[in-house]
Amino acid sequence: MNTNTTTRDPATGRDSEVQARWHPLIASDRVEGTAVYDREGEKIGTVRKLMLGKIDGQVRYVVIGSGGMFGFGEDDVPLPWDSLDFDKDLGGYKLRNLSKADFEKEKAPSFERGQEPDWSEDYDRTVRLYYFRTI
């Protein structure tokens, strides 16, 4: 799939159309800062970091900043990677099974910015049960 993108040439100041080839891979630094939406397309946060399995190298979680105002008072919320789909129209990741109201009402597992959970099997089970209980 190819997409057309308009870019501004810094030397001339003119807009030019560049054809970019879409592919299924993305560099981790490009994932950080990407918006995350609920199943209806309401923004619930922004990707702060990815958590990878040390042994298998697989992405396990996307940790998003959510809540607060303008980044202040946000909590970090781990979302299982397999609970998200990339939505090309939104240009971000979309939760498969929770609405924003469910996400806020039921208080998703989270931790304060600057803190880290123990990422144990028990914690993994708690997070996964939260996101996959309604499937």
Q: Name the more confident of 68 and 97.
A: 97
Domain chopping of the chain, boundaries: 26-132
Q: Which class is 26-132 in CATH? A: mainly beta
For residue 27, give Cα distances in angstroms to 24, 31, 50, 51, 131: 10, 7, 11, 14, 25
pLDDT of residue 49: 94
Instruction: Specify whether the CB–CB gap between 37 and 92 falls below 8 A.
Output: yes
The span from the CA of 51 to the CA of 53, in Å, is: 7
Q: What is the residue-wise DSSP string for 27-48?
A: -HHHHTT-EEE-TTS-EEEEEE
Residue 71 reports pLDDT greater than 90: no
pLDDT of residue 18: 46
pLDDT grade, residue 93 (50/70/90)? very high
Q: Name the more confident of 108 and 36.
A: 36
pLDDT of residue 133: 76
The span from the CA of 18 to the CA of 92, in Å, is: 21
> Based on the number of CB atoms within 10 Å of its own CB, is 129 exposed (0-12), middle (13-18) or buried (19 or more)?
exposed
Instruction: Specify whether the CB–CB gap between 60 and 81 falls below 8 A.
Output: yes
